[in-house]
Amino acid sequence: MPPSPLAREEYARHKQANVMLARVAGSLYWMSRYLERAENQARLIDVNLQLLLDFGHVTDEQLKAHWLPIVRSSGDEEQFFQLYTTADSESVMEFMTFRLENPNSLMSCISHARENARQVRDQISSEMWEVLNDAYHYIQGPSAKKVWHEGASAFYDEIKRFSHLFQGITVSTFSRSEGFEFIQFGKYLERADQITRLLDIKYHILLPNAADVGGAVDTAQWHAVLRSASALEAYRRYYVADVFYKKVVEFLIFDDSFPRTLRFCAEEMNHFIELITKTASEKEEIAPALERFEAFLGRLSTLHVEDVFSQGLHEFLDEAQVEIGNIGGHLYSTYMYFPPVDLQAEIRFHQQQEQQQQRQAA
């Protein structure tokens, strides 16, 4: 006997509900990631600009060596050189701030964050929406470029302020539900990925000659790394002495109390994964990826900075990016991605299966 119209309707509702839940989770996740990315980009550009001003007069080649690593770190170098011929202060700052052709520019990130929030506007608080909407209209408005030209630091401070305001409002106005877990997981995944890229910019791409290690330029750059992570004051509480590259790397990778270190972010990711995967069947579905990520966490808790430099800092950071991307990809494909579904075709398929089973039983 074929399924009744009521049974088919119930199946369609169940399937559609799963798709809707996945879309809501995905939108909250990407909303959080894009805004966190915008804040990180704003801080990195601003600190890089201030560092350049501290150096005083620099040649064109030094300008290129100073700004190009920021473009490379986001993976957008090819796109950049389709639009510009030279990597200098003005071209890189414009590309990383206003160009929509760059998927990682501040304007792109804030636009994507707002669009994802718009799709789930009934799921977030009105205050969260207002902050994102204000940030979008600020960066899109005519006054943004005027502020940027007159004082870039004030402009980037405003972007950071929007992000901080959004995070505080989210903690204060969003129910501790699955949606909150996806928001927080996205934030810490993005933050963990960005701290590895930040360290790689300095150590692998801007690495000075051996004779320059510990010199004025090298020390100034490591100061900039800490400031780019808003970590200078926290670092000083642990290490009162001058900034030293191994201690900076040790702090930004292994410290378990500062909210922007690799270890802290990875542990928070693991915490929210446990909340998201509530049932045994859900844990089983991503068990291999979860075990692999927990093994990476175990390494973070036992390694020392000398072990990292023995392996190679660049190689270690590459490995960390792979592990972060792997667990993020598994969680996304399991909970946040549903391919387009033809419900009528699905219902017909299940009807045919049931009819075939009934014929076999007869």
For residue 178 the two structure tokens come to 């699955």
Nearest CA among 246, 208, 249, 209 for reference residue 229: 249
For residue 48 the two structure tokens come to 């890089």
Q: Give the least confident one: 45-59, 234-248, 261-275, 345-359.
A: 345-359
| Apex 129 CA angle, 124 and 131, nearest 5 | 135
Contacts of 111 (CB under 8 A, 6+ apart): 100, 136, 140
Q: Is the pLDDT of residue 70 over 90?
A: no
Residue % of the chain over a pLDDT of 90: 57
d(CA 40, CA 38): 5
pTM attached to this predicted model: 0.85
User: In whole numbers, what is the pLDDT of the chain averaged over residues?
Assistant: 84
For residue 316 the two structure tokens come to 């270690």
Summarize pLDDT for 76-89 with one digit per residue, the tens. Answer: 899 999 999 988 88
For residue 213 the two structure tokens come to 């290690």
Rounded to the nearest angstrom, the gap between the alpha carbon of residue 206 and the centroid of all alpha carbons in its chain is 23
**Residues 249/307, Cβ–Cβ less than 8 Å:** no
Residue matched to tokens 């929007």: 162
Q: Is the pLDDT of residue 71 over 60?
A: yes
Q: If DSSP codes are grouped into helix, strand and coil, which group holds residue 310?
A: helix
DSSP code of 74?
A: T
Mean pLDDT, rounded, for 26-30: 95
Q: Is the pLDDT of residue 10 over 60?
A: no
Backbone angles phi, psi at 112, to 5 degrees: -65, -40
End-to-end alpha carbon distance in the chain: 11
| Apex 272 CA angle, 266 and 273, nearest 5 | 85
Summarize pLDDT for 104-127 with one digit per residue, the tens. Answer: 999 999 999 999 999 999 999 999
Q: Is the pLDDT of residue 244 over 60?
A: yes
Q: If DSSP codes are grouped into helix, strand and coil, which group holds residue 59?
A: coil
Residue % of the chain over a pLDDT of 70: 79
Q: Give the least confident one: 19-28, 179-188, 313-322.
A: 19-28
What is the DSSP annotation of 147-211? HHHH-HHHHHHHHHHHHHHHHHHHHHHS-SSHHHHHHHHHHHHHHHHHHHHHHHIIIIISPPPGG
For residue 248 the two structure tokens come to 């900076």
What pLDDT, on a 0 to 100 scale, did the predictor assign at position 11?
38
**Residues 99/105, Cβ–Cβ less than 8 Å:** yes
Q: What share of the chain is helix, strand, coil (3-state, %, to 5)?
A: 80, 0, 20
